[in-house]
Amino acid sequence: MNRIAMLGGLIAGLGFFFLPTLALKPNRLAPGTSFNLFEFQGDDRYLVLFVLALLPILLSFRHDVESRGWLLVGTGSLLFVLTLVLPAGAGRLLLETPEAFLDGGAFIRNPRILPAGAIATGLLGAYVTLFAGVRDLAKVEVQTWLQALATWLAPIVTLLLLLNGTFDVYSIMVEFYANGAALEQKFVEHLMFVFISLGVGFVVGVGLGLWASRDERLAPIILYAVGIIQTIPSLALFGVLLVPLARLGDQSFLATAGFFGIALVVAVALAGSYALLADREPGRVRIVHLIATAIGAAVPLALFVGVLVSFVFRLANVGFTSGAYGDTTGTILVLLLAALATWGVGRWFVPDESRWRRGLKVANWSLSAATAVAVVVLFVQASGSNRVLGGVESLSALTIRDLGVSGIGVAPALIALTLYSLLPLVRNTYAGLNNVDLAIIDSGRGMGMTPSQRFFQIELPLAFPVIMAGVRNAGVALVGIGTVATVIGAGGLGDFVIQGIVNTSIDQILLGAIPAIALALVLDAVLRGVEGLLTSPGIRQVQQ
Amino acid sequence: MKKILTVLSMAAALLLSASAFAQAPNEGDPIVVGSKQFTEQIVLGKVIVQLLEDAGYEVTDRTNLGGTAVARDALEAGEIDVYPNYNGTAISNWYRDIPWAQEAIGEDTSGDAYASFATVASYDAAIYDLIWLRPAPANNTYALAVTRQWSEENGITTLPEFAEYVNAGGEVVLSTGDEFAQRPDGLPSFYETYGFELTEDQLIIIAGATPAQTEQALASGQNNVNVAMAYGTDGALLAYDFVVLEDPLGAQPVFQPTPVFRGETIRAYPEIAGILNPVFALFDNPTLQGLNASVEVDGLSADEAARTFLVDNGFID
C-alpha cells in the first residue's frame, strides 16, 4: 500500500469537493462569486478532475510496485496539468457573460477569474501523488533518467502551456501582462539586492564567525551582537539610517576621500601601536587600546565598503535595467552560459585528464575571464551614463550622493539587508569550525602540518557544508526580507507586494510574491548545487 | 598586507576612472520627485514627474517611497525635492504636538478649506522652508461608506440621516482603523457634530487598517459590517459600488492634495509653479477618483494612468 498516494488523492479530492475552484470577480477589487467544481452548469468534463483526484486512493492499494509507480506518475501528472487547464476553460465561459453569474448591483469592469482554493489543493494533491509514484519507481530501481522524466514532465508541460497562453484567463496573468515591463525591472533590482548584500554579508559574516571561533572570550559577544541586530525592526533601522546617510551624501567626494585617508592612517597607527605595546600595557589600558583600534579600523572600512557597494549597485542597476547596453548584457549572458557549459561538460562527460578535458578547462578559464571583462566593460559603459554621474562638472563637484549613497533608496536598503544576513552566516561559520573533531586536527598536527595547512586542508573543508547551509539560509531569508526595501524607496518585488496589500489586490500581491518564491527556491537549489560540487568527495560520502 | 593594498588601490582606481567618465554638465541637479505609498500619491507623483520631464527638467523618480514619516523626513533632509501632501495630514501629524500651532490651526478643522490650507502652508514655509503650491480642489478626507443596496433600503445618503438612524436603534457595524476611531478630529468629531455615538459592539477596529481593508470588510459583509471608513477620492468606492455619506457640516479636516517643494528648489526654478498649478486645479473629487480607479480597478500602472490623463487634457504630447 502507498500511503503517500492516498494522502495526495485525499487532498485533491476533498479540495475539489469542499472548496471553490474559481471566483468570478466583477472587477479587479470586488470579491465576486465563487464556484465549486460541481456548479459548472452540467458540463461533465469538469468532473474528470474529481475522478482523477480520487484515482490515487484506489491505485494506492495495488501491490505491484512498478506498475503502481507508473500509474501514480501518470495520474499525478495528468491531474497537475488538468487542474490548471480545465478551470481555465470554465473561466473563459464565465467571462463571456459575467452579468449572468453576478449580483445585479455588481460594478462590472474588466471582470477577472481568480483561481481559488481547490486549484491550490488540486496542485498539491497532484504533486504529492507524483512524488509517491516517483518514490515507487525509485524503490524498484527504474533508471534515473526515467525517474527524472517522470518528475519533470508535468511541470514542463505546464510551463509550455503557460508560454502558449492557455492560462491567460487567470487574473494573475492579467496582472502580469499589465505590469510585465515593470516586473522585469523589479526582479532584476531584487536579484541585485540579494546578491550584493549576500556577498558583502558573506565576507563580513564569515570573517566574524572565524574570529569568534578563534577567540573564546569574544565569541559570545559577537554572536550576541549579530543576534540583537536581527531583532531590530527594519522600519526602525531605515529611520535611524535616513539622516546620517543623507548627511554623508551631501559631503564632497574629495573631502570624504581625504577623511578616509586620515582615518586609514589613524587606524594603521592604532593597530601598529597595539601590536607593539599591548604586551607591556596594564589590562585596562590594553582594552581601551583594543576598542580604539577596532573603532579606528571599522570607520574607514565601513565608509569604504558602503560607498563602493552603493556605487557598484548603481552601475549594475543602470547597466542591467536601463536596456541601453543590451548588446553587452547579452554578451555577458552568452559567455556565462558558455563558461558553465564547458565546465559542466568537462566535469561530467569527459573522463579524467584526457586531452579533451584539458582543452575544456582552458576554454572554461578563458570564457570565465571574458565574462569578467564583459562585466567590467558594462560597468565602464554604465558609468558614462547620465544616470550614474550625470550633471557632475568636475571631480571637486563630485559628492558622495553622486556615487549612490543617500538617505533613501538602495543605500539604506543594502545596509539593512547586509546586517540581517549576518546571523546565519556568523552562527554557522562559528558552529562549523567549532564542531571539527579535535582528534582530526591533532592528527594533522602530528603529521607536521602548519597552522594554515591545518585550517585550509582540515578545518575549512569539514566546516564547509555547515557554512554553506548558513549561506543558503541567509540567501533565502534575504529574498523574503528584500521585499521591505520598498518602504525606503529602493524598489524590488516588494513594490508589488506592499501596493497589493494597500489596495487589497490579491493579484498584485501574487505578482510580487510568486517571483520571490521562485527566486528563493532557485537560489536555494543553485547554492545547494554549489555546495555539493565544492564539498570534498570524501566528506560527502561520510555525510551520506 | 600586500594583497589588501592591491585590492584597495584597484578599488580606488575604479572610483577615479569612473569619475573620469562623468559627462558634460546638465543644468544643475535633477529634481527628485517623491510620493507616499498609496495609489493617489503615486499617480500624483507620476503627474509631477511627467510634467517636469516634459518641460525639459532632469527628474529623478522616487515615487512610491514609504509612509508619511519616510516621505516627510526625506523632504526635510533634502533627499527629495517635492512630494504631494495633504493639509489635513500636516495638521494631524507634525503640528499635532505643537500647542501654539494647534491653537491657531484648531479653529480651522471646521472644514474651512482655505483657512486650514493657508495656516498649514504659512507654518511650513516659516518653520521648515517648505513651499505649498496651489492645492487641488479635491478633498480626500475620511468618510463613512455604505453599500448602495443598504443606502437605498434605508433611505440614507447623508450623515444627519445616518445619525437619526443610529439614535433610533438601527443596526450598525462600522469597520474602521484605530487612528480614525480615536483621533479627536476623526470619528469623535462626527459624533460631536451630528449628535450620535456608536457603542463598542458597533465598532470593529482593525489596528492600522487602510480604507482598502475596511472597504473589503464591507464588501464581503463579514461580521455583519454595514458601514466602513473610507477616503473621499478612493477609486475602490466605484469598484464596490459604495455610497459615501455626505458630511454637510464639514466635521472632518480638509485633505487637499498639493505639491510641496523644498524652498531651495522652488526658488531655483520658480516657473515650476506655473507648470503644476493649472494641472492640480483640475483635480476635483470625481477626477481623482477616476484616476485612482483606473489604477486600482482597471489595473493600469500609475505611470500610464497619469500619462493618459495629461495627454487627454493636452498638457503633454
Interface with B, mutate which of A504, A506, A508, A509 (most B CBs under 10 A): A504
Same domain, A32 and A132: yes
| Strand order across the beta sheet in which B82-86 lies | B59-66, B31-36, B82-86, B257-262, B130-132
Same domain, A103 and A208: no
Determine how many CB atoms are found less than 10 A away from the CB of residue A344: 13
CA distances from B270 to A163, B29, B49, B83 (A): 51, 15, 16, 16
Name the residue among A311, A310, A330 with its Cα closest to residue A320.
Answer: A330
| pLDDT tens-digit map of A151-175 | 889 989 999 999 998 888 898 998 8
Residue B217 has pLDDT above 90, yes or no: no
Beta carbons of B34 and B63 less than 8 angstroms apart: yes
Same domain, A126 and A218: no
Question: What pLDDT was estimated at residue A71?
Answer: 92
Coil, strand or helix: which one is A503? Answer: helix
Residue A239 lies in a domain: no
Same domain, A512 and A483: yes
Are A507 and B26 inside 8 Å of each other by CB? no
Burial class (CB in 10 A: 0-12, 13-18, 19+), B19: middle
Which of A178, A315, A386 has its CB closest to that of B299? A178
Coil, strand or helix: which one is B63? Answer: strand
Buried b (16+ CB within 10 A) or exposed e, B223-257: eebbbbbbbbbbbbbbbbbbbbbebeebbbbbbbb
Question: What pLDDT was estimated at residue B94?
Answer: 66
Residue A312 lies in a domain: no
Residue A380 lies in a domain: no
Task: Tell me the chain B residues in contact with residue A304 when contact means C-beta distances shorter than 8 Å.
Answer: 8, 11
If one counts the domains in chain A, the total is 2
Task: Tell me the chain B residues in contact with residue A394 when contact means C-beta distances shorter than 8 Å.
Answer: 22
Give the residues across from B82 on adjacent strands.
Answer: B33, B261
Same domain, A28 and A125: yes
Are A105 and B300 inside 8 Å of each other by CB? no
What is the spatial distance between Cα A197 and Cα A257, in angstroms, rounded to a whole number?
24
Same domain, A14 and A50: yes
Are A389 and B23 inside 8 Å of each other by CB? yes
| pLDDT tens-digit map of A400-426 | 888 888 888 888 899 999 999 999 999
Give the residues across from A22 on adjacent strands.
Answer: A35, A115
Please, which pLDDT band fits residue A343 given cuts at 50, 70 and 90? confident
Give mean pLDDT, residues A206-223. 88
Residue A425 lies in a domain: yes
Q: Assign 3-state DSSP to chain A and report helix, strand, coil percentages, each to 5.
A: 80, 5, 15
Same domain, A12 and A150: yes
The ranges of chain B annotated as CATH 3.40.190.10 are 31-139+256-312
Give the residues across from B146 on adjacent strands.
Answer: B243
Residue A205 has pLDDT above 70, yes or no: yes
CA distances from A254 to A83, A101, A302, B173 (A): 62, 68, 17, 63
Return the minimum-mean-pLDDT range out of A123-137, A501-515, B259-273: A501-515
Give the residues across from B175 on adjacent strands.
Answer: B204, B228
Burial class (CB in 10 A: 0-12, 13-18, 19+), A332: buried
Return the minimum-mean-pLDDT range out of A160-169, A321-330, B140-149: A321-330
Give the residues across from B206 on adjacent strands.
Answer: B177
Residue A303 lies in a domain: no
Q: Which helix (H) or strand (E) holds B203?
A: strand B203-206
| pLDDT tens-digit map of B260-297 | 999 999 999 999 999 999 999 999 888 998 899 888 88
| Strand order across the beta sheet in which B227-231 lies | B203-206, B174-177, B227-231, B142-147, B242-244
CA distances from A510 to A26, A537, B76, B294 (A): 19, 41, 35, 20
Cell of B287: 477626477
Which of B39, B64, B219 has its CB closest to that of A489? B64
Residue A308 has pLDDT above 60, yes or no: yes
The ranges of chain B annotated as CATH 3.40.190.120 are 142-244
Are A27 and B241 inside 8 Å of each other by CB? no
Question: What pLDDT was estimated at residue A105?
Answer: 66
Residue A252 lies in a domain: no
What is the spatial distance between Cα A430 and Cα A194, in angstroms, rounded to a whole number?
23
**Amino acid identity for residue B29 in this structure:** D
Which of B21, B30, B239 has its CB closest to that of A30? B239
Same domain, A92 and A217: no
- Helices A460-481 and A171-214, axial angle in degrees (round to 10): 140
Task: Tell me the chain A residues in contact with residue B64 when contact means C-beta distances shorter than 8 Å.
Answer: 486, 489, 495, 499
Same domain, A199 and A160: no
Beta carbons of A187 and A515 less than 8 angstroms apart: yes
What is the spatial distance between Cα A299 and Cα A261, in angstroms, rounded to a whole number?
11
Q: Is B213 on the interface with A (CB under 8 A)?
A: yes
Interface with A, mutate which of B7, B10, B19 (most A CBs under 10 A): B19
Which of A169, A188, A203 is the C-terminal boundary of a domain? A169
- Helices A144-164 and A117-139, axial angle in degrees (round to 10): 160
Length of chain B: 317
Residues 245-264 on B with a CB inside 8 Å of A are none
Same domain, A454 and A473: yes
Q: Is B238 on the interface with A (CB under 8 A)?
A: yes
Under 8 Å CB-to-CB from A431, ≥6 apart: which residues? A466
| pLDDT tens-digit map of B7-24 | 444 444 444 444 433 333
- CATH class of this structure's domain B142-244: alpha beta
CA distances from B4 to A256, A460, B9, B10, B119 (A): 20, 22, 9, 10, 59
Task: Tell me the chain B residues in contact with residue A243 when contact means C-beta distances shorter than 8 Å.
Answer: 73, 77
Residue of A nearest to B31 (CA): A391
Under 8 Å CB-to-CB from B175, ≥6 apart: which residues? B204, B206, B209, B214, B217, B218, B223, B225, B227, B228, B229
* Strand duo B174-177 + B227-231: pairing: parallel
Give mean pLDDT, residues A185-200. 90
CA distances from B61 to A392, B24, B53, B77 (A): 19, 22, 10, 17
Name the residue among B54, B74, B55, B76 with its Cα closest to residue B63.
Answer: B74
Q: Is A409 on the interface with B (CB under 8 A)?
A: yes
Domain containing A469 — which CATH number?
1.10.3720.10
ipTM of the complex in this document: 0.71
Coil, strand or helix: which one is B32? Answer: strand
φ and ψ of B145, to 5 deg: -120, 145
According to CATH, the topology of domain B31-139+256-312 is D-Maltodextrin-Binding Protein; domain 2 (3.40.190)
Cell of A89: 476553460
Q: How far is B92 from chain A (nearest CA, A)?
A: 20
Question: What pLDDT was estimated at residue A9?
Answer: 93
Q: Residue A138: which domain range?
A: 3-169
Residue A15 lies in a domain: yes
Q: What is the greatest pairwise CA distance in chain A?
A: 93
Which of B15, B69, B215 has its CB closest to that of A311? B15
Residue A86 lies in a domain: yes
Number of alpha carbons in the 13 Å side-chain half-sphere of residue B128? 22
Same domain, A76 and A131: yes
**Amino acid identity for residue A1 in this structure:** M
| pLDDT tens-digit map of B54-65 | 999 989 888 888
Same domain, A69 and A29: yes
